[in-house]
Amino acid sequence: MTPRFAATAVAHSNIALIKYWGKLPISGNYPAVPSLSLTLDALRTRTRVTFDSQYSQDEFELDGKRVLERPLQRVSSLLDAIRSLASLEYFAKVVSSNNFPTASGLASSASGFAALAVAATHAAGLNLEPAAISSLARACSASSARSIHGGWASLDAGADSANALDSGQNWDVVLIVAVTDPGPKAIGSTQAMIRCADTSPYFAAWVETAPVLFARACGALHHRDLDALGRCMEESTWRMHATMLTAVPAVVYISPITLAIINEIRSRRSASVPAYFTTDAGPHVKVLTMAEHAAAVRSWLTQIPGVTDTIICKPGPAAFVETPVTEGHTA
Ligand code: PMV
Protein backbone atom coordinates (compact mmCIF):
# COMPACT_ATOMS: atom_id res chain seq x y z
CA MET A 1 0.00 0.00 0.00
CA THR A 2 1.28 3.47 -0.86
CA PRO A 3 1.30 6.32 1.67
CA ARG A 4 -1.97 8.23 1.39
CA PHE A 5 -3.46 10.94 3.56
CA ALA A 6 -7.00 12.17 2.99
CA ALA A 7 -9.71 14.30 4.57
CA THR A 8 -12.98 15.93 3.57
CA ALA A 9 -14.10 19.36 4.83
CA VAL A 10 -17.16 21.54 4.43
CA ALA A 11 -17.12 25.33 4.46
CA HIS A 12 -19.94 27.78 3.94
CA SER A 13 -19.79 30.87 1.83
CA ASN A 14 -19.88 34.29 3.42
CA ILE A 15 -21.18 37.59 2.15
CA ALA A 16 -19.52 40.82 3.23
CA LEU A 17 -21.75 43.57 4.57
CA ILE A 18 -18.70 45.82 4.81
CA LYS A 19 -16.61 44.95 1.78
CA TYR A 20 -13.07 43.83 1.35
CA TRP A 21 -11.94 45.43 -1.92
CA GLY A 22 -8.26 46.13 -2.51
CA LYS A 23 -4.97 44.75 -1.24
CA LEU A 24 -2.10 46.33 0.65
CA PRO A 25 0.77 47.15 -1.74
CA ILE A 26 2.94 44.39 -0.22
CA SER A 27 3.20 40.72 -1.06
CA GLY A 28 1.13 38.14 0.83
CA ASN A 29 -2.44 39.12 -0.12
CA TYR A 30 -3.31 41.38 2.81
CA PRO A 31 -6.56 43.37 2.65
CA ALA A 32 -6.31 47.16 2.40
CA VAL A 33 -9.62 47.70 4.23
CA PRO A 34 -11.47 46.01 7.11
CA SER A 35 -14.48 43.83 6.26
CA LEU A 36 -17.45 42.36 8.12
CA SER A 37 -19.35 39.30 6.92
CA LEU A 38 -22.04 36.76 7.62
CA THR A 39 -21.35 33.08 6.90
CA LEU A 40 -24.39 31.53 5.21
CA ASP A 41 -25.91 28.12 5.95
CA ALA A 42 -27.38 27.48 2.47
CA LEU A 43 -24.25 28.00 0.33
CA ARG A 44 -21.55 25.41 0.86
CA THR A 45 -18.47 23.81 -0.64
CA ARG A 46 -17.45 20.24 0.16
CA THR A 47 -13.81 19.37 -0.63
CA ARG A 48 -11.85 16.15 -0.39
CA VAL A 49 -8.06 16.33 -0.42
CA THR A 50 -5.93 13.23 -0.92
CA PHE A 51 -2.13 13.45 -0.74
CA ASP A 52 -0.65 10.37 -2.38
CA SER A 53 2.95 9.37 -3.11
CA GLN A 54 1.79 7.97 -6.45
CA TYR A 55 0.60 11.33 -7.86
CA SER A 56 2.98 13.19 -10.18
CA GLN A 57 1.19 16.58 -9.98
CA ASP A 58 -1.67 18.33 -8.19
CA GLU A 59 -5.11 17.79 -9.69
CA PHE A 60 -8.24 19.82 -9.07
CA GLU A 61 -11.77 18.79 -9.97
CA LEU A 62 -14.67 21.17 -9.37
CA ASP A 63 -18.29 20.12 -9.81
CA GLY A 64 -17.19 17.07 -11.81
CA LYS A 65 -14.87 18.98 -14.21
CA ARG A 66 -11.08 18.97 -14.27
CA VAL A 67 -9.75 22.50 -13.63
CA LEU A 68 -6.41 23.74 -15.02
CA GLU A 69 -4.35 26.94 -15.29
CA ARG A 70 -4.93 29.85 -12.88
CA PRO A 71 -7.52 28.18 -10.58
CA LEU A 72 -5.28 25.09 -10.31
CA GLN A 73 -2.25 27.31 -9.58
CA ARG A 74 -4.15 29.00 -6.74
CA VAL A 75 -5.07 25.61 -5.28
CA SER A 76 -1.45 24.44 -5.62
CA SER A 77 -0.15 27.57 -3.88
CA LEU A 78 -2.28 26.78 -0.81
CA LEU A 79 -1.22 23.11 -0.97
CA ASP A 80 2.45 24.22 -1.21
CA ALA A 81 2.12 26.28 1.98
CA ILE A 82 0.57 23.29 3.78
CA ARG A 83 3.13 20.82 2.38
CA SER A 84 5.91 23.07 3.60
CA LEU A 85 4.39 23.33 7.13
CA ALA A 86 3.85 19.55 7.31
CA SER A 87 7.14 18.59 5.61
CA LEU A 88 5.08 16.56 3.17
CA GLU A 89 6.24 16.03 -0.39
CA TYR A 90 3.26 14.32 -2.01
CA PHE A 91 1.08 15.90 -4.64
CA ALA A 92 -2.66 16.00 -4.02
CA LYS A 93 -5.96 15.37 -5.70
CA VAL A 94 -8.61 17.92 -4.75
CA VAL A 95 -12.23 17.10 -5.49
CA SER A 96 -14.64 19.90 -4.72
CA SER A 97 -18.34 20.58 -5.19
CA ASN A 98 -20.44 23.70 -4.66
CA ASN A 99 -24.20 23.63 -4.11
CA PHE A 100 -24.45 27.04 -5.87
CA PRO A 101 -23.10 28.68 -9.07
CA THR A 102 -19.30 28.95 -9.09
CA ALA A 103 -17.36 32.20 -9.72
CA SER A 104 -20.34 34.44 -10.28
CA GLY A 105 -20.31 36.74 -7.25
CA LEU A 106 -21.72 34.21 -4.80
CA ALA A 107 -18.40 34.01 -2.95
CA SER A 108 -17.40 30.57 -4.21
CA SER A 109 -13.75 31.41 -3.62
CA ALA A 110 -14.58 32.16 0.03
CA SER A 111 -16.09 28.75 0.78
CA GLY A 112 -13.76 27.04 -1.70
CA PHE A 113 -10.45 28.12 -0.16
CA ALA A 114 -11.81 27.74 3.38
CA ALA A 115 -12.86 24.12 2.68
CA LEU A 116 -9.54 23.45 0.94
CA ALA A 117 -7.50 24.89 3.83
CA VAL A 118 -9.39 22.82 6.42
CA ALA A 119 -9.35 19.58 4.39
CA ALA A 120 -5.70 19.87 3.33
CA THR A 121 -4.33 20.78 6.78
CA HIS A 122 -6.19 17.80 8.29
CA ALA A 123 -5.14 15.45 5.52
CA ALA A 124 -1.53 16.56 6.05
CA GLY A 125 -1.82 15.69 9.73
CA LEU A 126 -1.51 19.30 10.95
CA ASN A 127 -3.55 20.15 14.00
CA LEU A 128 -3.91 23.91 13.59
CA GLU A 129 -5.98 26.51 15.42
CA PRO A 130 -8.70 28.27 13.37
CA ALA A 131 -6.53 31.42 13.25
CA ALA A 132 -3.68 29.55 11.55
CA ILE A 133 -6.06 27.93 9.03
CA SER A 134 -7.72 31.31 8.40
CA SER A 135 -4.28 32.80 7.71
CA LEU A 136 -3.41 30.07 5.17
CA ALA A 137 -6.76 30.63 3.42
CA ARG A 138 -6.32 34.43 3.50
CA ALA A 139 -3.06 34.25 1.62
CA CYS A 140 -5.00 32.78 -1.37
CA SER A 141 -8.37 34.51 -1.06
CA ALA A 142 -8.84 37.10 1.67
CA SER A 143 -12.62 36.62 1.82
CA SER A 144 -12.11 32.90 2.53
CA ALA A 145 -10.34 33.75 5.82
CA ARG A 146 -13.78 34.78 7.14
CA SER A 147 -15.48 31.50 6.09
CA ILE A 148 -13.35 29.57 8.60
CA HIS A 149 -15.71 31.05 11.18
CA GLY A 150 -19.46 30.66 11.49
CA GLY A 151 -21.92 33.54 11.87
CA TRP A 152 -20.47 37.04 11.97
CA ALA A 153 -16.76 37.45 11.21
CA SER A 154 -14.40 40.30 10.45
CA LEU A 155 -11.03 40.72 8.78
CA ASP A 156 -9.06 43.80 9.72
CA ALA A 157 -6.98 45.77 7.23
CA GLY A 158 -3.55 44.15 7.02
CA ALA A 159 -4.65 41.27 9.26
CA ASP A 160 -3.22 37.79 9.05
CA SER A 161 -6.47 36.02 9.97
CA ALA A 162 -10.16 36.72 10.46
CA ASN A 163 -11.93 37.21 13.81
CA ALA A 164 -15.04 35.31 14.94
CA LEU A 165 -17.41 38.01 16.22
CA ASP A 166 -20.67 36.21 17.00
CA SER A 167 -22.11 32.77 16.18
CA GLY A 168 -25.19 34.41 14.67
CA GLN A 169 -27.48 32.06 16.56
CA ASN A 170 -29.07 34.73 18.75
CA TRP A 171 -30.27 37.16 16.12
CA ASP A 172 -32.74 35.93 13.50
CA VAL A 173 -31.48 37.74 10.43
CA VAL A 174 -31.47 36.22 6.95
CA LEU A 175 -29.72 37.13 3.73
CA ILE A 176 -31.84 36.28 0.72
CA VAL A 177 -29.85 35.73 -2.46
CA ALA A 178 -31.63 36.80 -5.64
CA VAL A 179 -29.85 34.83 -8.36
CA THR A 180 -29.92 36.61 -11.69
CA ASP A 181 -27.49 34.86 -13.98
CA PRO A 182 -25.41 31.82 -13.12
CA GLY A 183 -22.78 32.56 -15.81
CA PRO A 184 -19.15 33.13 -14.74
CA LYS A 185 -17.97 36.66 -14.08
CA ALA A 186 -16.10 38.59 -16.77
CA ILE A 187 -13.05 39.52 -14.69
CA GLY A 188 -11.71 37.89 -11.52
CA SER A 189 -11.75 39.88 -8.30
CA THR A 190 -7.96 40.01 -7.88
CA GLN A 191 -7.42 41.54 -11.31
CA ALA A 192 -10.35 43.90 -10.78
CA MET A 193 -9.04 45.09 -7.40
CA ILE A 194 -5.62 45.83 -8.87
CA ARG A 195 -7.19 47.77 -11.73
CA CYS A 196 -9.29 49.82 -9.29
CA ALA A 197 -6.24 50.60 -7.12
CA ASP A 198 -4.18 51.57 -10.17
CA THR A 199 -6.73 53.62 -12.08
CA SER A 200 -9.76 54.72 -10.06
CA PRO A 201 -9.54 58.26 -8.67
CA TYR A 202 -11.98 57.10 -5.96
CA PHE A 203 -9.84 54.25 -4.67
CA ALA A 204 -7.83 56.32 -2.15
CA ALA A 205 -11.05 57.73 -0.69
CA TRP A 206 -12.49 54.20 -0.47
CA VAL A 207 -9.50 53.00 1.57
CA GLU A 208 -9.45 56.13 3.73
CA THR A 209 -13.14 56.04 4.66
CA ALA A 210 -13.61 52.26 5.07
CA PRO A 211 -12.49 52.02 8.74
CA VAL A 212 -15.13 54.50 9.93
CA LEU A 213 -17.89 52.64 8.10
CA PHE A 214 -16.60 49.33 9.48
CA ALA A 215 -16.66 50.69 13.05
CA ARG A 216 -20.23 51.97 12.57
CA ALA A 217 -21.32 48.57 11.26
CA CYS A 218 -19.67 46.71 14.15
CA GLY A 219 -21.51 49.00 16.58
CA ALA A 220 -24.80 48.33 14.79
CA LEU A 221 -24.16 44.57 14.92
CA HIS A 222 -23.36 44.79 18.62
CA HIS A 223 -26.69 46.56 19.26
CA ARG A 224 -28.56 44.28 16.84
CA ASP A 225 -29.73 47.36 15.00
CA LEU A 226 -30.79 46.02 11.61
CA ASP A 227 -31.61 49.43 10.22
CA ALA A 228 -28.19 50.92 11.05
CA LEU A 229 -26.37 47.78 9.88
CA GLY A 230 -28.33 47.65 6.61
CA ARG A 231 -27.55 51.28 5.86
CA CYS A 232 -23.83 50.73 6.47
CA MET A 233 -23.99 47.70 4.15
CA GLU A 234 -25.56 49.74 1.35
CA GLU A 235 -23.00 52.55 1.76
CA SER A 236 -20.14 50.06 1.58
CA THR A 237 -21.71 48.42 -1.49
CA TRP A 238 -22.09 51.68 -3.42
CA ARG A 239 -18.61 52.91 -2.48
CA MET A 240 -17.04 49.64 -3.64
CA HIS A 241 -18.94 49.72 -6.93
CA ALA A 242 -18.01 53.40 -7.36
CA THR A 243 -14.32 52.40 -7.39
CA MET A 244 -15.14 49.70 -9.96
CA LEU A 245 -17.19 51.95 -12.25
CA THR A 246 -14.49 54.63 -12.21
CA ALA A 247 -11.61 52.23 -12.99
CA VAL A 248 -10.13 52.32 -16.50
CA PRO A 249 -11.49 50.34 -18.21
CA ALA A 250 -14.53 50.25 -15.93
CA VAL A 251 -15.26 47.07 -14.01
CA VAL A 252 -19.00 46.50 -14.33
CA TYR A 253 -20.45 43.60 -12.35
CA ILE A 254 -23.92 45.06 -11.92
CA SER A 255 -26.50 44.43 -14.62
CA PRO A 256 -29.86 46.03 -15.44
CA ILE A 257 -31.47 43.27 -13.36
CA THR A 258 -29.20 44.08 -10.41
CA LEU A 259 -30.47 47.67 -10.54
CA ALA A 260 -34.08 46.56 -10.97
CA ILE A 261 -33.80 44.47 -7.79
CA ILE A 262 -32.17 47.32 -5.87
CA ASN A 263 -34.91 49.73 -6.98
CA GLU A 264 -37.60 47.26 -5.94
CA ILE A 265 -36.07 46.87 -2.47
CA ARG A 266 -35.73 50.61 -2.03
CA SER A 267 -39.32 51.27 -3.02
CA ARG A 268 -40.99 48.38 -1.15
CA ARG A 269 -39.17 48.37 2.18
CA SER A 270 -40.76 50.08 5.15
CA ALA A 271 -40.47 50.32 8.92
CA SER A 272 -42.66 47.21 9.18
CA VAL A 273 -40.72 45.22 6.55
CA PRO A 274 -37.08 46.39 6.66
CA ALA A 275 -34.82 45.12 3.85
CA TYR A 276 -31.34 46.16 2.68
CA PHE A 277 -29.38 45.15 -0.40
CA THR A 278 -25.82 44.35 -1.30
CA THR A 279 -24.08 43.06 -4.41
CA ASP A 280 -20.52 41.84 -4.98
CA ALA A 281 -18.34 40.83 -7.92
CA GLY A 282 -21.33 39.60 -9.92
CA PRO A 283 -24.89 40.59 -10.80
CA HIS A 284 -26.75 38.79 -7.98
CA VAL A 285 -28.27 40.78 -5.14
CA LYS A 286 -28.36 39.72 -1.50
CA VAL A 287 -31.05 41.18 0.72
CA LEU A 288 -30.74 41.49 4.49
CA THR A 289 -33.92 41.25 6.54
CA MET A 290 -35.30 39.54 9.64
CA ALA A 291 -36.32 35.86 9.37
CA GLU A 292 -39.96 36.77 10.06
CA HIS A 293 -40.00 38.86 6.83
CA ALA A 294 -38.20 36.33 4.65
CA ALA A 295 -41.34 35.08 2.87
CA ALA A 296 -42.58 38.62 2.13
CA VAL A 297 -39.21 39.81 0.79
CA ARG A 298 -38.77 36.65 -1.25
CA SER A 299 -42.19 37.26 -2.87
CA TRP A 300 -41.01 40.76 -3.95
CA LEU A 301 -37.88 39.24 -5.49
CA THR A 302 -39.51 36.35 -7.35
CA GLN A 303 -41.80 38.78 -9.19
CA ILE A 304 -38.89 40.69 -10.75
CA PRO A 305 -38.22 39.61 -14.37
CA GLY A 306 -34.72 38.12 -14.64
CA VAL A 307 -34.57 36.73 -11.10
CA THR A 308 -34.06 33.01 -11.73
CA ASP A 309 -33.90 31.76 -8.14
CA THR A 310 -34.02 32.94 -4.55
CA ILE A 311 -32.08 31.32 -1.69
CA ILE A 312 -32.90 32.16 1.91
CA CYS A 313 -29.72 31.94 3.99
CA LYS A 314 -29.48 31.92 7.76
CA PRO A 315 -26.22 32.33 9.69
CA GLY A 316 -24.10 29.29 8.88
CA PRO A 317 -21.59 27.20 10.82
CA ALA A 318 -17.81 27.38 10.97
CA ALA A 319 -15.86 25.25 8.49
CA PHE A 320 -15.45 21.67 9.71
CA VAL A 321 -13.84 18.34 8.89
CA GLU A 322 -16.43 15.87 7.71
CA THR A 323 -14.35 12.76 8.13
CA PRO A 324 -11.27 12.41 10.30
CA VAL A 325 -7.91 11.66 8.72
CA THR A 326 -8.41 8.30 7.03
CA GLU A 327 -6.94 5.65 4.84
CA GLY A 328 -3.81 4.69 6.68
CA HIS A 329 -0.87 6.90 7.43
CA THR A 330 1.73 4.33 6.71
CA ALA A 331 2.82 2.12 3.90
O1 PMV B 1 -11.36 37.05 -1.74
P2 PMV B 1 -11.85 37.43 -3.10
O3 PMV B 1 -10.76 37.68 -4.03
O4 PMV B 1 -12.87 36.46 -3.62
O5 PMV B 1 -12.61 38.87 -2.95
C6 PMV B 1 -13.97 39.02 -2.80
C7 PMV B 1 -14.36 40.44 -2.62
C8 PMV B 1 -15.86 40.69 -2.45
O9 PMV B 1 -16.61 39.50 -2.47
C10 PMV B 1 -16.36 41.58 -3.59
C11 PMV B 1 -16.12 41.44 -1.15
C12 PMV B 1 -15.89 40.62 0.11
O13 PMV B 1 -15.48 41.22 1.11
O14 PMV B 1 -16.15 39.41 0.11
50-95 per-position pLDDT tens digit: 999 999 999 999 999 999 999 999 999 999 999 999 999 999 999 9
Distance from the CA of 20 to the center of ligand 1, in angstroms? Answer: 6
Mean pLDDT value of segment 226-246: 98
Give the type of residue at 97: S
User: What pTM was computed for the model?
Assistant: 0.95
The residue length of the chain stands at 331
State the pairing for strand pair 91-98/59-62: parallel
Say which CATH topology domain 173-313 has: Alpha-Beta Plaits (3.30.70)
Predicted local distance difference test score (pLDDT) of residue 312: 97
The C-alpha atoms of residue 47 and residue 322 are separated, in whole angstroms, by: 9
- Condensed to tens digits (0 to 9), the pLDDT of residues 150-201 reads 999 999 999 999 999 999 999 999 999 999 975 656 799 999 999 999 999 9
Predicted local distance difference test score (pLDDT) of residue 108: 76
* Mean confidence (pLDDT) of the chain: 94
Say which CATH topology domain 4-167 has: Ribosomal Protein S5; domain 2 (3.30.230)
DSSP-derived letter for residue 201 is T
Which residue among 280, 284, 285, 286 has the greatest number of ligand 1 atoms within 8 angstroms of its CB, and so is best to mutate? Answer: 280
Mean pLDDT value of segment 283-290: 97
- Condensed to tens digits (0 to 9), the pLDDT of residues 260-276 reads 999 999 999 999 999 99
DSSP-derived letter for residue 140 is T
Q: Identify which has the larger pLDDT, 284 or 326.
A: 284
Predicted local distance difference test score (pLDDT) of residue 185: 60
Segments making up each domain of the chain, as ranges: 4-167, 173-313
Distance from the CA of 330 to the center of ligand 1, in angstroms? Answer: 40
Percentage of residues in the chain with pLDDT exceeding 70?
Answer: 94
